[in-house]
Amino acid sequence: MRNVAVVGVGQTKFGEHWDKSIRDMIIEAGLAAVRDAKIERGDVQSLFIGCMSSGRYAGQEHLGALAADSLGMRVPATRFEGACASGSLAFRNAYVDVASGRHDCAIVIGAEKMTDVKGPEAITSLAAAGDQEWEAAIGLTFAGLYALMARKHMNDFGTTREQLAMVSVNNHKNGVANKNAQFRMPISVDDVLKSSIVADPLRLLDCSPITDGAAALVIMSENLAKKAANPVWILGSGQGSDTIALHDRASFTEMAATRTAAKEALSEAKININDLNMIEVHDCFSINEIIALEDLGFCEKGKGGRFVEDGNIDINGKIPVNTTGGLKAGGHPVGATGVRQAIDIVRQLRGDSCNQLKNPLYGMNLNVGGSGATAVVNIFGREMKQ
Ligand code: COA
């Protein structure tokens, strides 16, 4: 496998875009990434796009062809779907494409246009990423599934309602400086506790929102990337799977898919979890950030709430998490999220993040699909693998 680097990034603002179609957003993000990479569209040799449900949300399928056509790139173009992990699946497969030597330059896009349908329809479409027969059909939404995990975590480990709220408070604090974020207002623990109940114990401010947005990045093989202005190297990638239905899992409070994906990515990158300077995790609901911190090994099982309360995930903490606002404040256009996470790690490593850390060397993103049936982890570094 050859070394591969990210050489250009671009995204739309995340939020409600009444005036833009999914095609408009793909063009905006894709061309921004090409410009940032300082290449021509004709230099791109393959296209990978992640999207969960453009058919239901925007009436548009065949998204690989749509993206290639709209961007003026007549190259092999493929769409990837893995619920909220769709963007990272596209990224991982593009990485393999370039690392294997098949192509030297690929574009990765993530896109979702969720607000053109009414709220209940958006939530029904999301629920289709769970088990249709055993979960969605009885009215179990994703908020409902994560509420079950939160309740079990609180029961088994004493995690408090306040600790869940602190996850959202941290994400909102980090989102204030991010001009691409859907919500840029700070919130307090009290605000979270007083927000309306969505699925007990989860409240409105524990939830990621419904969002439109697209994100894109350009990757290149080592021989080309070495000439790029500011390459960020992909050091490892891992993917894991678990049962699609929550009730079939050995545990409601951990995600085996995350553990599998992280183990593979860390082993390929040849680094330890404690070498990381920051991470992007999948905070679709506040409880998922706590579970992710435990599954990735930043703290012991059951201690995630305390880890958050002690300030470890703060921008100046032991492991800064979601330094630009995460899914909660940044927004969660599901197919775009994994690509957006990768972009924010790349920006930190290039030194142009809106909340820049001092001299980071390594970063990781964790993108989860459904209630944990799919997980993808990617690791990035300032220096290439030797
Ligand atoms: N955080 C903060 N504010 C939010 C919000 C969120 N997650 N979601 C909506 N809002 C705000 C809106 O901006 C709006 O504010 P305004 O009145 O000042 O304009 C207000 O709340 C009402 O918005 P609306 O769109 O009517 O909300 P809703 O009640 O229909 O939906 C949720 C709220 C939480 C149910 C919905 O966002 C949701 O289902 N989120 C989870 C999405 C999900 O499951 N993703 C997949 C993860 S696996």
What does the block give as tokens for 173? Answer: 């604090």
What pLDDT sits at residue 34? 98
User: Would you list the DSSP string of 78-131?
Assistant: EEE-BTBTHHHHHHHHHHHHHHTTS-SEEEEEEEEE-TTS-HHHHHHHHHTTS-
Mean local confidence (pLDDT), 352-364: 98
Answer yes or no: is the C-beta of 379 below 6 A from any ligand 1 atom: no
Range 31-37 average pLDDT: 98
Residue 189 confidence (pLDDT) above 90? yes
**pLDDT (tens digit per residue) in 116-146:** 999 999 999 999 999 999 999 999 999 999 9
pLDDT tens sequence across 262-293: 999 999 999 999 999 999 999 999 999 999 99
pLDDT for 304 beyond 90: yes
Question: Residue 281 has what pLDDT?
Answer: 98
Which CATH number applies to 4-118+210-225?
A: 3.40.47.10
- The yes or no reply on domain 138-209+236-381 and CATH 1.10.1740.10 is no
**d(C-alpha 54, C-alpha 286), whole Å:** 26
Average pLDDT over residues 207-226: 98
- At residue 367, the 3 state secondary structure works out as strand
Region 70-83 average pLDDT: 98
Share of the chain above pLDDT 90, in %: 99
CATH code 3.40.47.10 region(s) in the chain? 4-118+210-225, 138-209+236-381
For residue 386, the model assigns a pLDDT of 82
Q: Active-site positions?
A: 84, 332
* pLDDT score for 180: 98
Tokens of 278: 């920051």
Which residue's C-alpha comes closest to atom 9 of ligand 1? 209
Whether 89 is in the pocket of ligand 1, judged by its Cβ within 6 Å, is no
Give the mutation target among 208, 285, 341, 374 for probing the ligand 1 site: most ligand atoms within 8 A of CB: 208
Q: What is the pLDDT of residue 65?
A: 98
Enter the tokens of residue 272: 């330890």
